[in-house]
């Protein structure tokens, strides 16, 4: 059969043009409503619904997380990925300088973020700025001390790192398997006021004190193993962690707690950066603005995966209004002695990379210790 193409009449052309014109707005609406996929490299929990759900719904965003454990793991993942793979990067504060030096993160505009609402100690946090240029925004922090089973070890006993060597802890001392927090604690234990800035003689003392604990150790654990071995009583004391682990268990009724010992504690600090060559810079910026807003800070503080303190004064107030028990538990109550007093009294030192030794030196010793 032969078919013949007819020349369109003026009327049919008008119908076709009108139909196309009617369709155009709907195509535009669909394009405008397209969900933005925002990739996040972070510790577990930061892209879960209790933290990002409200932001996703309000901004038509869907987070795609890649979770890691430990800063070395984070750097490795970025190094193995093409530029632009991660829109937002959550890192421990001590790794921001390495991210910046490697060209992995974008410069930020300080005017975009509510630093005036932060406690003064966090408004220009060390390492987040270079030559007065901003590269990362602090979002949360916490303290590392002696984590312990309160049925077996009292808070009084846990007021010194020497408890790790107690007879009752033999075979029951756990380590979170990351050299920086563990060796930082041991550096405090041997009397180093600045635990990460030590000369070779002090470093030798840290290594000797650490190696002396080896018979006490019942295991080296990742996040899940740390959590479960404290929860079931397999480990009675834990080095290298703090309320970010014990707080979850304590909230669920487990007899565990973190005590800051007389030798002092360490502060872990997390911050968000924007990944280099992201195609979603504006939405990434909007996310950091949200998580540092009073409401976002309250969500971050009470995150289901692991709790934290936050640098925003307004965030403290919102947390006290919405979750007063958690605010009280974490020492985030204005007008009373609180977590900021520990920092201002010098009882807390920032966790950082080693200053006088290389990171490889510390990592190599940690491997030797584990294998001893």
The verdict on 234 and 363 lying in the same domain is yes
- Digit-coded pLDDT (tens) for 236-258: 999 999 999 999 999 999 999 99
Confidence (pLDDT) at 128: 97
The verdict on 119 and 157 lying in the same domain is no
Q: Is the pLDDT of residue 137 over 70?
A: yes
User: The domain that contains 80 carries what CATH number?
Assistant: 3.40.190.10
Within a domain: residue 178?
yes
The verdict on 121 and 57 lying in the same domain is yes
The verdict on 118 and 173 lying in the same domain is no
For residues 263 and 290, what is the distance between their CA atoms, to the nearest angstrom? 37
Within a domain: residue 224?
yes
Lowest-confidence pick of 19-23, 41-45, 166-170: 19-23
For residues 362 and 368, what is the distance between their CA atoms, to the nearest angstrom? 10
- Digit-coded pLDDT (tens) for 159-199: 999 999 999 999 999 999 999 999 999 999 999 999 999 99
Residues 104-114, mean pLDDT to the nearest whole number: 98
Residues 341-364, mean pLDDT to the nearest whole number: 96
pLDDT class of 33 with cuts at 50, 70, 90: low
The verdict on 248 and 358 lying in the same domain is yes
User: What are the tokens at 235?
Assistant: 């480990």
Confidence (pLDDT) at 70: 87
Q: Is the pLDDT of residue 6 over 60?
A: no
Q: Is the pLDDT of residue 23 over 60?
A: no
User: What are the tokens at 285?
Assistant: 């910026």
The verdict on 367 and 221 lying in the same domain is yes
Domain, as residue range, for 162: 146-263+351-371
Within a domain: residue 168?
yes
The verdict on 151 and 257 lying in the same domain is yes
- Return the percentage of the chain with pLDDT > 90, whole number: 89
The verdict on 277 and 317 lying in the same domain is yes
Confidence (pLDDT) at 236: 98
The verdict on 189 and 248 lying in the same domain is yes
For residues 195 and 206, what is the distance between their CA atoms, to the nearest angstrom? 9
The verdict on 208 and 355 lying in the same domain is yes
How far CA 144 is from CA of 93, 184, 257, 281, 332, in Å, comes to 15, 10, 11, 33, 16
The verdict on 238 and 310 lying in the same domain is no
Within a domain: residue 9?
no
């Amino acid at each position: 059969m032969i078919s013949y193409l007819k020349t369109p009449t003026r009327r049919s052309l008008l119908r076709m043009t009108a139909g196309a014109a009617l369709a155009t707005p709907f195509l535009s609406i669909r394009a405008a409503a397209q969900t933005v996929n925002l990739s996040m490299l972070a510790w577990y929990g930061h892209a879960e619904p209790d933290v990002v759900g409200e932001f996703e719904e309000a901004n038509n965003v869907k987070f795609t997380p890649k979770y890691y454990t430990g800063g070395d793991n984070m750097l490795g993942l970025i190094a193995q990925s093409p530029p632009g793979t991660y829109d937002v990067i959550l890192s421990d504060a001590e790794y921001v300088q390495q991210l910046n030096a490697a060209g992995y993160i974008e410069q930020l505009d300080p005017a975009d973020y509510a630093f005036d609402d932060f406690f003064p100690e966090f408004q220009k946090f060390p390492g987040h700025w270079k030559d007065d240029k901003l590269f990362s925004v602090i979002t949360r922090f916490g303290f590392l001390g002696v984590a312990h089973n309160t049925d077996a070890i009292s808070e009084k006993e846990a007021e010194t790192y020497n408890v790790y060597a107690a007879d009752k802890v033999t075979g029951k001392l756990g380590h979170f398997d990351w050299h920086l927090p563990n060796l930082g604690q041991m550096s405090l234990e041997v009397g180093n006021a600045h635990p990460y800035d030590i000369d070779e003689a002090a470093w030798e003392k840290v290594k000797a004190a650490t190696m002396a604990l080896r018979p006490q150790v019942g295991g080296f654990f990742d996040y899940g193993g740390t959590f479960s071995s404290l929860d079931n009583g397999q480990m009675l004391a834990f080095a290298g962690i703090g309320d970010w682990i014990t707080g979850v268990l304590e909230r669920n009724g487990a007899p565990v707690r973190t005590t800051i010992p007389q030798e002092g504690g360490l502060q872990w600090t997390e911050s968000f950066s924007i990944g280099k060559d992201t195609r979603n810079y504006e939405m990434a910026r909007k996310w950091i603005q949200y998580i540092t807003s009073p409401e976002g800070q309250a969500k971050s503080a009470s995150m289901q995966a692991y709790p934290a303190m936050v640098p925003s004064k307004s965030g403290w107030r919102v947390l006290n209004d919405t979750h007063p028990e958690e605010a009280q538990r974490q020492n985030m109550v204005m007008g009373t002695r609180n977590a900021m007093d520990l920092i201002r009294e010098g009882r807390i030192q920032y966790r950082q990379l080693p200053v006088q030794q290389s990171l490889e030196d510390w990592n190599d010793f940690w491997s030797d210790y584990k294998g001893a």
